[in-house]
Structure 1
């Protein structure tokens, strides 16, 4: 069963569901007043949240990059492909693109 990341106006929900319709039903059941902002079918069956990205370590916190997250979504989580997409969209060099994509992966893309 796929894992979905669902962002609403008030929550981020991680849930297993058969499809997007079933994932949306989870939100309606649990938080009927929330509006779904973004729903992503995760490319893997597990979820990892970096303590550094949450500011729970001495590591600098990172800001999510909408372009990088879009590239990761388009590449289905394939880091190398996401880096290429990011370089193409932004004109960034390889090293900078790698850092942006990897930092967004750390934040639980």
Structure 2
């Protein structure tokens, strides 16, 4: 069981790196395609989330020797949820337009 947890911790690093990389990719695509702010935000958000729960039934159907796969899928989902909370705060600042509530608060 210890080696399975160690393997899981290694992929958690990848799970964390992916949304960070996708912010850079999304902002770069914005510059290349000259997208508006809503399109840039949509690109970054949709690129950062992979719908890992779609494969959970498949992971649960695997033999016992591969049971760590289901845990990996659930872990990926949790990392994505935390990443999306961070994205909600970070992406509007990176795209150069604050939310309307922030603008009102700063008046």
TM-score with structure 1 length normalisation?
Answer: 0.27
Higher relative contact order (CA 8 A, sep 6+): 2
Give the number of the structure whose residues are more often strand, by fraction.
1
Greater per-residue helix proportion? 2
- Select the structure of larger CA radius of gyration: 2
Output the TM-score relative to the length of structure 2. 0.27
